A and B are shown apart, each in its own frame.
Chain A
Amino acid sequence: MRLRRFLGTLPVVHQFRQSVGLQRGMLVAGLIITGAFALLAILAPVIAPYGFNQLSTDGESFGSQQPPGGDHLLGTTVGGYDVLSRVIWGAQTAFFVIIVAVLLSIFVGVLLGLVSGYLGGWVDRVLVVIADAVYAFPTLLLAIVAGIVISKGQSDLVGGVFAAAISITVVFIPQYFRVIRAEAVRVKAEAFVESAKVVGASTPRVMFRHVFRNSTRTLPLIFTLNSSEAILTLAGLGFLGFGIEPTSAAEWGYDLNRSISDVTSGIWWTSIFPGAAIVLIVLGITLIGESLNDLADPRLRARRRAAATPADAVAATVPAAREDLGEVR
């Protein structure tokens, strides 16, 4: 539910009620998938049949590479872990990474972008140069450096998660920055911003009430990209051996890595399930992001109401159509 609480700032329920048709379908699908993973993450101790680092019950070893069935619904890995339990516990790790990475980058990136875009001047120029410089760094390299600095090579849960999250943060602050800055530059030239200035609104008020909310349209979209990138980076770290040790936390990327040799020998269950988990969680979050993106803007939101003029009706679904239909604004 921590993801939900974060989304609470973008009132999901409110937007769900607003939505119709395909937009609602997308939102619902995304919410169900993401919600299911969130539930898995929270209830992992209850749902998972075994611990993520459990190798035996009652002194009896699970055995390695056991096919699905019996005591192990999804089989066991080459290391002798229960696949189902690892997948369930893995959700927890994934959410940790998303939350930490997003929290660290979104506030800084958005604020810097807004200030830089709205105020302009030398602040803007310096920030843009720094952002460009950071862009040149490969994510994974940063992640490895961060991993070494934070956990000194030992990868426990917190160390691994933070290594992934911080590298994501460093790379994504410029992305949030860029997107918000570009939007802020566009929006600040709009008449309603000038109108607010004429009215006498203070700079912070203009920035946050008028520019900010009109600049965040693409935010859900980057947020989802960010989330999936966070998960993928964590997996990449695991693959390179900088990830989280299987004894400290369950991590899909690590499991995938271990299953590489299994694939050629016909052992499918060790790779399919963690892989599917990664795909599904990224899909779910992306669906939410996409539909929130549309719903947050009253001009993109689809409606059921009949419209007075043809231009209005078409404009309800195709925002640019108003001009196409020749309505002189």
Chain B
Amino acid sequence: MAQTQPAVDIRDLDVTFATDGGDVHAVRKVSLQVQRGEVLAIVGESGSGKTVTARTMLGLIPETATVKGALFLGGEDVVSISPSRIRELRGTRGAMIFQEPSTALNPVFTVGWQLAEGLRAHGNVSKQQAHRKAVEMLQKVGIPDAARRVNDYPHQFSGGQKQRIVIAMALALEPDVIIADEPTTALDVTVQAEILDLLRDLRAEFDTAIVLITHNMGVVADLADRVAVMLNGELVETAPVRELFAAPQHEYTKKLLAAVPRLDIADRPQVAPSDEPAVVTATDLEIEYPGRLGRRGFRAVDGVSFEIRPGEVLGLVGESGSGKTTIGRAIAGLTKVTGGSLTVLGTEMLGVRERAFRPQRKDLGFVFQDPATSFNPLLTIAQCVAEPLIVHGVAANALQARDRVDELLEAVQLPREYGDRFPHELSGGQRQRASLARAIALDPKLLIADEPTSALDVSVQARVLELFGEVQERFGFATLFITHDLAVVDLLAHRLVVLHHGRIAEEGHTADVLGDPQNDYTRRLLHSLPVPDPVEQAARRARGPLASA
């Protein structure tokens, strides 16, 4: 294969899905080239066709799709060749890295077996050879002690390590192109930074082309050489990454870039200290999950003290496993407190009985992370939003509550007709707004928002966050905003608590913590956050990584 030939050459690709709802034109006349060793980022919102375009490269699209045009993968037109030939190309010419590493690996086989399976499916490799190669690949992607860990099962690895293993599987047959579909979305920022480093190194080592599908402009700025922006199945703009960020041409690109949350470190007026008692007070809070028989439990939260004052937005920041969600759930009474003291709305949660806490629940709202599962799929939005009203006896049934529900939907800027729809008929952002409406239905004193925007598109996230701020100001409830995204808390929170392994790493006013972090871990978090600006990100990278704490 000549080096000059692009790794991927897409010409006038057109993908149409036949559905009961008529034909859906998912990709329209897209032409793209990816050179060897190049990282092309495809950005766009959900449903923009970016994933379909990428998946077509490996023939991974449903049977209902009609594909027109040509897509050359290392000189062979994937659109016209037979399915069995496509299968041969998968792995050898093109490979895929999936978004969720924990579901991309089969839990009942060792990672070594899974790596070897891919090797043995293509070509005549003996068991021993495949095993050796598997160990070698694991070493390459930075799994420590690879020779031993090759026999471990996926659940014995952390999320970042699992993604490394998925990358190892993709690289095993040295493909010309790797399709990375949101490879870091499910990972923590510090892990994301490591994975991005890994991808960059591997690109240099293997000279592989990478097609990066992401909605995170920070990741794009960090890794991509060129960016293709898709909107409604059309390619609206393709430009080298610096040009695109510096001078976006298309209206949509401008909008998209404007929506990206940036760490501006805005100085927000603090809530005036008042004599009112704090809504939540935690003193040396300890939460331990019971271990299996004979084993020690896992201490998720270890000696955490903080308080949330009325009307204040407290940002609780940390990576997965830091205990931030556990604290949120403990405040909502979903997880038992095992030590210290946690007072929520005047009720001590240590050893509390559900019956005693139930009356307080009307002053408590909760917005869940995943908009897809936070609504009962069999009830309409109006019924779901009416639920707190019915439970606390404000309305006898959903019909009676409808007026209030309409008001609430209006407050979160949803048309009232949406009340009659089922949850799956709403987009993620709309559902999250409805979720907010449900949380504020009883005019609560405290709202707990657990990563409410992490599952949303950038531009949707911006709108939801804006709405969040507005609603919070209007209703004046205290908020515990749990997130891993520093840029998001920067937009909303008055004060910040940074958690690390169940302990508080740092706390203080948002501007202070983000502007002048005192703690090593906070600094590392801030540093890992890719800046949505390729020039600055490159400069930061050149300065070298911080000494890892």
Which parts of A158-192 form the interface with B (CB within 8 Å)? Answer: 190-192
- Whether the Cβ atoms of A198 and B333 lie closer than 8 Å is yes
The closest CB in chain A to the CB of B460 belongs to A328
Q: Say whether A298 faces chain B, with CB atoms less than 8 Å apart.
A: yes
| Residue contact A311 to B47, C-beta cutoff 8 Å | yes
- Given known pairs A311-B46, A312-B47, the reply for A198 and B369 (CB within 8 Å) is no
What 0/1 pattern do residues 311 to 329 of A give for CB contact below 8 A with B?
1111111100100111111
B362 interface residue per 8 A CB criterion: yes
Contact of B366 among A198, A304, A310, A311 (CB under 8 A): A198
B388 touches A324 (CB 8 A): no
Q: Which residue of A lies closest to B361 (CB)?
A: A200
Q: Which one of B1-9, B18-26, B254-262, B314-322 is at the interface?
A: B18-26
Q: Does A140 contact B (CB under 8 A)?
A: no
Cross-chain contact A298 with B377 (CB below 8 angstroms)? yes
Tell me, in angstroms, the Cα distance from A317 to B334 when the chains sit together.
35
B185 in contact with A328 (CB, 8 Å): yes
Distance between B243 CB and nearest chain A CB, rounded to angstroms: 26
CA distance A311 to B424 in the complex (A): 12
Residues of B within 8 A of A202 (CB): 358, 391
Query: Which parts of A263-305 form the interface with B (CB within 8 Å)?
Result: 297-299, 302-305
Cβ of A295 to closest chain B Cβ, rounded Å:
12
Chain B, range 301-360, C-beta contacts under 8 Å to A: 332-334, 358-359
For residue A229, give the distance in angstroms from its CB to the closest CB of chain B: 28
Given A195-B438, A299-B377, A309-B46, answer yes or no on A329-B428 (Cβ-Cβ < 8 Å).
Answer: yes
**Size class of the A contact interface (CB-based, 8 Å):** 35 or more
Q: B392 on the interface (CB 8 Å rule)? A: yes
A12 contacts the other chain (CB 8 A):
no
Cα–Cα, bound, A214→B50 (Å): 33
Number of CB contacts from chain A to chain B under 8 A: 147
On whether the beta carbons of A313 and B24 are closer than 8 Å, the reply is yes
User: Is B181 in contact with A326, judged by CB distance below 8 angstroms?
Assistant: yes
Question: Which chain B residues (168-193) contact chain A, with CB distance < 8 Å?
Answer: 181-182, 185
Given A214-B378, A329-B455: A310 touches B49 (CB 8 Å cut-off): yes
B residues near A321, Cβ cutoff 8 Å: 62
| Bound-complex Cα distance A298 to B424 (A) | 8
Measured as residues with beta carbon below 8 angstroms from the partner, the interface class of chain B is 35 or more
A316 touches B21 (CB 8 A): yes
Q: Given the known A-B contacts A198-B361, A310-B47, are A326 and B182 also in contact in the complex, defined by CB atoms under 8 Å?
A: yes
Interface centre among B361, B378, B384, B428 (most CB of A within 10 A): B378
B468 within 8 A of A: no
Q: Is B14 close to A, CB under 8 A?
A: no
Instruction: Kindly identify which residue among A200, A213, A317 contacts B378, using a CB–CB cutoff of 8 Å.
Output: A213
Could you tell me the distance in whole angstroms from the C-beta of B548 to the nearest C-beta in chain A? 29
Which chain B positions have C-beta within 8 A of A299?
377, 424
User: Would you call A199 and B387 a contact (CB within 8 A)?
Assistant: yes
Task: Quote the shortest CB–CB distance from A328 to chain B (angstroms).
Answer: 6
Q: Hey, which chain B residues are within 8 Å of A213, CB to CB?
A: 376, 378
Question: Which residues on the A side are within 8 Å of B19 (C-beta)?
Answer: 307, 313-314, 316-317
- Scan residues 357-409 of chain B and give those whose CB is less than 8 A from a CB of chain A: 358-359, 361-362, 364-366, 368-378, 384, 387-388, 391-392
User: Min CB distance, B480 to chain A, in Å?
Assistant: 13
Task: List, in ascending order, chain A residues with CB within 8 A of B50's CB.
Answer: 326
Query: Does A195 lie within 8 Å of B374, measured CB to CB?
Result: yes
Is A197 on the interface with B (CB-CB < 8 A)?
A: yes
A198 engages B332 (CB within 8 Å): yes
Question: How many angstroms from the CA of A210 to the CA of B374 in the assembled complex?
Answer: 11
Q: Is residue B82 within 8 Å, beta carbon to beta carbon, of the partner chain?
A: no
The answer to whether B20 and A200 have CB atoms under 8 Å apart is: no
Provide the residues of chain B in CB contact with A311, threshold 8 Å. Answer: 46-47
Q: Are B182 and A328 in contact (CB under 8 A)?
A: yes
Known: A298-B378, A313-B24. A191 touches B373 (CB 8 A): yes
* CB-CB contacts below 8 Å: B452-496 with A: 455-457
Q: Is B64 an interface residue (CB 8 A)?
A: yes
Q: Which residues of A contact B49 (CB under 8 A)?
A: 310
Instruction: Tell whether, in the assembled complex, residue B47 and residue A327 are in contact, meaning their CB atoms are under 8 Å apart.
Output: yes
Chain A nearest Cβ from B185, distance in angstroms = 7
A298 contacts across to B, CB distance below 8 A: 377-378, 422, 424
Residues of B within 8 A of A325 (CB): 26, 47, 51-52
A194 interface contact, C-beta 8 A: yes
The verdict on A328 contacting B47 (CB below 8 Å), with A304-B21, A306-B22, A316-B21 known, is no
CA distance A103 to B46 in the complex (A): 47
The interface residues of chain B lying within 8 Å CB-to-CB of A308 are 47
Contact flag A192-B374 (CB < 8 Å), given A310-B52, A326-B213, A329-B428? yes
Q: Is the CB of B388 within 8 A of A199?
A: yes
Q: A194 near B391 (CB under 8 angstroms)? A: no
B283 to chain A, nearest CB (A): 23
B233 touches A (CB below 8 Å):
yes
A176 to B349, CA, bound (A): 38
Contact of A191 with B370 in the complex, beta carbons under 8 Å: yes
Q: A47 within 8 Å of B by Cβ?
A: no
Q: How far is the CB of A31 from chain B (nearest CB, A)?
A: 22
A120 to B24 alpha-carbon distance, docked (Å): 45
Q: Does B503 contact A (CB under 8 A)?
A: no
Distance (whole angstroms) from the CB of B330 to the closest CB of chain A: 12
B157 within 8 A of A: no
B17 at the interface (CB under 8 A from A): yes
Q: Which residues of B contact A36 (CB under 8 A)?
A: none
Interface pair A199/B62, CB less than 8 Å apart: no
Q: Is the C-beta of B215 less than 8 angstroms from some C-beta in chain A?
A: yes
Q: Which residues of B contact A4 (CB under 8 A)?
A: none
Q: Which residues of B contact A190 (CB under 8 A)?
A: 373
Looking at the complex, which one of A303, A304, A307 makes contact with B24 (CB distance below 8 Å)?
Answer: A307
Instruction: Report the separation of the CA atoms of residues A327 and B455 in the bound assembly, to the nearest whole angstrom.
Output: 10
Distance between A20 CB and nearest chain B CB, rounded to angstroms: 7
Q: Please indicate the chain A residues that have their CB under 8 angstroms from the CB of B17 in the complex.
A: 310, 313-314
| Contact present for B62 and A324 (CB under 8 Å) | yes
- The answer to whether A196 touches B387, judged by C-beta atoms less than 8 angstroms apart, is yes
Most buried by A among B19, B388, B456: B19
Give the interface centre of A201, A307, A329 by most chain B CB atoms within 10 Å.
A329
Q: In the complex, A101 Cα to B55 Cα: how many Å?
A: 50
User: Do B20 and A302 touch (CB < 8 A)?
Assistant: yes
Q: Is residue A69 contacting chain B, with contact meaning CB distance below 8 A?
A: no
Complex interface: chain A residues within 8 A of B387 (CB): 196, 199, 201
0 or 1 for each of B46-88: is its CB under 8 Å from A? (1 = yes): 1101111001000000101000000000000000000000000
Which residue of A has the minimal Cβ distance to B15? A310
| Given A191-B369, A328-B46, A21:B388 Cβ within 8 A | no
CB-CB < 8 A to A307: which residues of B?
19, 21, 24
Residues of B contacting A2 in the complex (Cβ-Cβ under 8 angstroms): none
Residue from A196, A306, A310 within 8 A of B233 (CB atoms): A310
Query: Nearest Cβ in chain B — how far from A206, in angstroms?
Result: 10
A311 to B369, CA, bound (A): 21
New A-B contacts (18) at CB < 8 Å, excluding given A198-B366, A199-B438, A310-B17 = A192-B376, A195-B368, A195-B438, A198-B333, A198-B365, A306-B21, A307-B24, A309-B427, A310-B26, A312-B47, A313-B22, A314-B64, A317-B20, A324-B51, A326-B52, A328-B99, A328-B455, A329-B372
21 contacts between A and B (CB under 8 A): A191-B374, A192-B376, A195-B368, A195-B438, A196-B387, A196-B391, A200-B362, A200-B391, A202-B391, A214-B377, A306-B22, A306-B24, A310-B17, A310-B25, A324-B51, A325-B47, A325-B51, A326-B52, A328-B182, A328-B428, A329-B370
Interface residues of B (CB under 8 A from A): 17, 19-22, 24-26, 46-47, 49-52, 55, 62, 64, 99, 181-182, 185, 213, 215, 233, 332-334, 358-359, 361-362, 364-366, 368-378, 384, 387-388, 391-392, 422, 424, 427-428, 438, 455-457
For the complex of A and B, 3 pairs with smallest distance between CB atoms: A326-B51, A309-B47, A200-B361
